[in-house]
Amino acid sequence: MPRYKIADVVFDAQFIYGYTERLCQKYLYQGDEAPRLLISATLDDIKAEKEKAPEYPDNYLESLAVFRKLCAYILDNADGLIFHSSAIMVDGKAYLFTAPSGTGKSTHARLWRELLGDRAVMVNDDKPIVRFVDGKFYVYGTPWNGKHGLDTNCRAEIKAVCKISQAKENSIRKATAGEMVFTVLNQTVRPENQSSMENLLGLIDKLLGSVDTYVLGCNVSKEAAELSYTTMSGERL
């Protein structure tokens, strides 16, 4: 049975399809840590995913079911949540761009890579996991990495979370924690049971109290990346 380590959680997994196994390959684990759980998606789990997203094939839906189970475990046992965002690491610090699908998070992260070259590492382009560990928030790469397949098996301390919208002119400002609450709640997977939901709300409260938050209106240009990078990092180019 393959063993993985994702978001610093070691687990064994049993897959029906080869797709999920291939997807998770980079996260195979051969160290000494004991597995904390066994994850497998049943046919019923896959059926439940199919109801939410009937257009996808079963092997892909299995991978979603596995991800859902991993995230549910992490939320209840490891202070972590999935945060739909494009997470990029520069000089060891992570920046998370969040927005509804199709707004341009991945595009903006690409502009950062073009601007910063090798200094910028994609942690995950779609579904990273965010965890609270020893008083700090970290973002972790996961194999669920979006349509461009960008992720790194690594973690980085989060410096800032940035909400993106499309705009003609580039502008950035600090967000209040309050205006980010709905953003985060809408870009995570919400559990259905009460105690997990309370864990999630508590984590979001801590996250928004710990990291810098920004609102960015941007077009697709080098200047947009320059503005967001210099403002959020406090560094000059």
Partner 1 sequence: MKIKDGFILSEVAGQTVVVAVGKMAKQFNGCIKLNPSSALLWKTLQKGATEEQLVETFMNEYDVQLEQAKEDVKEFVTNLEKAGFLE
Query: Which spans of this chain sit near partner 1 (rule: CB under 8 A)?
Result: 177-178, 180-182, 185-186, 190-194, 197-198, 201, 204-205, 208-209
- Cβ closest to partner 1, residue 75 vs residue 111: 75
- Cβ closest to partner 1, residue 80 vs residue 191: 191
Q: How far is the CB of 161 from partner 1 (least distance, A)?
A: 12
Q: How far is the CB of 141 from partner 1 (least distance, A)?
A: 26
Q: How far is the CB of 177 from partner 1 (least distance, A)?
A: 4
Q: How far is the CB of 201 from partner 1 (least distance, A)?
A: 5
- Cβ closest to partner 1, residue 37 vs residue 177: 177
Alpha-carbon separation of residue 222 from 80, 108, 218, 225, 226 (angstroms): 33, 9, 10, 5, 6
Residue 83 is classified by DSSP as -
Burial 48-84 (b: 16+ CB within 10 A, else e): ebbeeeeeeebbbbbbbbbbbbbbbbbbeebbbbbbb
- Cβ closest to partner 1, residue 201 vs residue 220: 201
Q: What is the dihedral of CA 75, 27, 123, 189, to 10 degrees?
A: -30
